[in-house]
A = this chain, B = another copy of it.
Amino acid sequence: MSQTTVSRALNGFPEVSEKTRQVVLEAAAKHNYKPNTRARRLATGKSMTIGHLVSVSKEYELVNPIFADFIAGASARYAQSGYDLLLSLVPDEDEFTSYKELAARSAVDGVVVHAPRVDEQRIAQLNSLNLPFVVHGRSSNALEKYNWVDVNNERSFFRATQLLIELGHTSIGLINGVAGVDFAVRRTQGYLRALKEHNIEPTDAHVTHSEMTEPNGYKNALALLDLRNPPTALIASSIIMANGIRRALDDRDLKLGRDVSVITHDDDLSYFRDAAAVPVYTATRSSVREAGRLSADLLLKTIVNPGRDPEGILLDAELILGSSTKPPPTR
């Protein structure tokens, strides 16, 4: 039997009879034969690989656990379509170099861009490379069209802030992610809009920016709690920071919910799933794993159909009522 027939049988071409195909499939199964990936990729001209470049700040070498869940969602989708996932952690200063290199040696068919900034250069750069991509998040100042999957950060933080105000809080802290990263900016916008609509004067000292680690949640919460006029409620950008906030409250002998209300954004991380009947934290919740799945889906669609118009998918975070929010204590 010729190579051609085997190849066609395995790849599902109609030119081969069902009987022949069965024979081939059985033989392949028997010898555990799988077409050699390398040869196949060269012959088809496809890499069948998606690149995820995660930028790591050289200084701190932080790797956000969020990636683990995002990638879990994406990975499942890739596997479905026979794509491999290439993961690369690169120093943040030369992320574009890495994209360029991947493109030049044609190692991937597409890439996912993480944590875009308000002014994100990678979008224009990737468009110029002609490498299909999808952004997890958006870039407010981007001029070109691009594929993205994002949650409605502005609106959900608006709602969170509003909820606290309606409970009676007038002094609310925001423990946000790194300044300049798009989602953090939008969250601040939502927070400020809610304050404004209720005629509450924002206080600069009430907003902090940092990587969303547990120690930073602790540190920033302490800073806010130690103000002469401390906020009675805090909004956190990540459940990991919320863990740090709890520790800070502990240190100051304050009780979460009773003394200080907290709302956190909850990415529904698998190792921090707040699944109690009454959730621990009142939260704006949106599964980052689902975002990963959708991003992967969008990217694969774009790869298969290069002419496709870029698309944006906006997920709505739910505002979930937990037990970490109460009216402010009366004094």
Which residues of A pack against B, CB within 8 Å? 32-42, 45, 47, 52, 56, 60-65, 67-69, 71-72, 75-76, 79, 84-90, 100-101, 104-107, 211-215, 240, 243, 246-247, 250, 255-256, 269-276, 280, 289
Can you name the residue of chain B whose Cβ is closest to the Cβ of A91? Answer: B76
> Of all chain B residues, which has the CB nearest A51?
B84
Q: In the complex, A69→B89 CA distance in Å?
A: 11
Measured CA separation A37–B250 after assembly (Å)? 54
Once the chains are docked, how many angstroms separate the CA of A243 from the CA of B248?
A: 12
Give the residue of B38, B68, B100 whose beta carbon is less than 8 angstroms from that of A67: B68
The distance from the CB of A30 to the nearest CB of chain B, in whole angstroms, is 12
Q: Is the interface of A mostly helix, strand, loop or mixed?
A: mixed
CA–CA, A240 and B125, complex, Å? 38
Closest-by-CB residue of B relative to A271 is B213
13 A-B contact pairs sorted by A residue (CB < 8 Å): A38-B47, A61-B72, A61-B289, A62-B270, A62-B271, A64-B68, A65-B271, A75-B87, A84-B86, A85-B86, A215-B274, A215-B275, A250-B250
Residues of chain B contacted by A273 (CB below 8 angstroms): 213, 215
CB distance from A73 to the nearest CB of B (A): 9
Smallest CB-CB A-B distances: 10 pairs: A65-B65, A34-B105, A34-B104, A37-B107, A38-B41, A62-B270, A75-B89, A38-B42, A37-B105, A63-B68
* Contact partners of A275 in chain B: CB under 8 A: 215
Contacts of A255 in B (CB 8 A): 250
Task: Report the nearest B residue to A69, measured CB to CB.
Answer: B63
In the assembled complex, the Cα of A203 lies from the Cα of B88 at a distance in Å of: 46
State which of B38, B72, B87, B212 has its C-beta within 8 Å of the C-beta of A38.
Answer: B38
CB distance from A185 to the nearest CB of B (A): 21
